Homo-oligomer: A and B are copies of this chain.
């Protein structure tokens, strides 16, 4: 053992593969680390874990996405407790590249997933720290594999459907669930183009109390819209639409049945394997970009070349772009 807490990566991998939750938490912290001297340990851990469970079934991976305030946490709490009651071990990861950048805040985080977070059959991990910027999604893709290796199945990914994060979430999962409020229209303003097209399952939440009828009507109108786009050949896959009440835990079984039907059809058509291949390739490229930036920022040679140019940039004698191109032409290998 060295003084580095990640010194014995082999032991960490073995513990994790045996289902040890503390080892899982520690392993995720390792893949989220930006320390240069942790990068090789993280890569080794991932390789050991991959080898350790090479011939096992992959876990079912489900994204739960939607605009702020739609009730994602409430749904995940309800769905997670339902799955645990069926004997499953549930992991919940959050992906949110918009997580705080500056320290402190006037707004406090709400207590979320209160019961699920206390359940011994659930593993909940919030978004990686924003220090990791470009690498947030890469780290989450690795955390999915770690959760799977520790025996959690399904792995649920929570993401806010307002930005790039849900596109990245689609690269993490088998099934993408989009949660929407009753009403549509103005509520959809914050929802970006393209998000609807990622969805395998559209869920209208808050089908309870005064909003119940509106939720049913909203689901019906999405169902009609989806049928139209499928007819028009705009959709390459079937989309299911349903309404439920996360708050009153109504419709949770039906949501899970729908997710499983979609998953079975993927498995039956051999699409899970090709999806996972494409995803592995995607995350390789993302990882390549992220690691390249990290090495660039840590490079003494870059610092040296930069020091001379930054003076001209500050004096507006040289644009930032021109300076960047100059730095790269003397740093990256010449391929011309």
Q: Which of B189, B288, B292, B299 contacts A68 (CB 8 A)?
A: B189
Q: Which residue of B lies closest to A318 (CB)?
A: B47
CA–CA, A141 and B105, complex, Å: 27
- Which B residues are in CB contact (< 8 Å) with A163? 97-98, 162-164
Interface readout for A84-119 with B: 1 if CB under 8 Å, 0 if not?
000000000000011111111111001000000000
Q: What is the CB-to-nearest-CB distance from A210 to chain B, in angstroms, rounded to a whole number?
A: 16
Among the 9-residue stretches A1-9, A35-43, A250-258, A259-267, the one with 4 or more Cβ atoms under 8 Å from chain B is A35-43
Q: Which of B46, B193, B280, B290 contacts A314 (CB 8 A)?
A: B280
B193 touches A102 (CB 8 A): yes
- Which B residues are in CB contact (< 8 Å) with A331? 333
- Which B residues are in CB contact (< 8 Å) with A229? 106
Q: What is the CB-to-nearest-CB distance from A112 to chain B, in angstroms, rounded to a whole number?
A: 11
Within 8 A of B (CB), among A255-298: 277, 280-281, 283-293, 295-297
Quick one: given A97-B164, A107-B188, are A194 and B102 in contact (CB under 8 Å)? yes
A328 interfacial contact with B, CB 8 Å: yes
A301 touches B196 (CB 8 A): no
- Which B residues are in CB contact (< 8 Å) with A310? 281, 284
B101 touches A333 (CB 8 A): no
Q: Which residue of B lies closest to A139 (CB)?
A: B321
Quick one: given A54-B316, A162-B163, A292-B328, are A194 and B284 in contact (CB under 8 Å)? no
Q: Which residue of B lies closest to A323 (CB)?
A: B284
- Which B residues are in CB contact (< 8 Å) with A293? 289, 292-293
Q: Which residue of B lies closest to A109 (CB)?
A: B193
CA–CA, A68 and B325, complex, Å: 36
B292 touches A106 (CB 8 A): no
- Which B residues are in CB contact (< 8 Å) with A26? none
A320 touches B280 (CB 8 A): yes
Q: Which residue of B lies closest to A188 (CB)?
A: B107
A291 touches B328 (CB 8 A): yes
A142 interfacial contact with B, CB 8 Å: yes
- Which B residues are in CB contact (< 8 Å) with A292? 292-293, 296, 324, 328, 332
- Which B residues are in CB contact (< 8 Å) with A124? none
A327 interfacial contact with B, CB 8 Å: yes
CA–CA, A306 and B282, complex, Å: 12
Q: What is the CB-to-nearest-CB distance from A316 to chain B, in angstroms, rounded to a whole number?
A: 5
Quick one: given A193-B102, A319-B43, A324-B291, are A314 and B281 in contact (CB under 8 Å)? yes
Q: Which residue of B lies closest to A331 (CB)?
A: B333
CA–CA, A46 and B286, complex, Å: 30
- Which B residues are in CB contact (< 8 Å) with A296? 288-289, 292
Quick one: given A98-B162, A162-B162, A287-B321, are A314 and B277 in contact (CB under 8 Å)? yes
Q: What is the CB-to-nearest-CB distance from A13 to chain B, in angstroms, rounded to a whole number?
A: 12
CA–CA, A325 and B10, complex, Å: 19
| 9 closest Cβ pairs, A-B complex | A68-B190, A98-B163, A46-B319, A105-B193, A102-B194, A100-B193, A284-B320, A43-B322, A287-B324
5 contacts between A and B (CB under 8 A): A46-B319, A68-B190, A104-B194, A141-B320, A333-B333
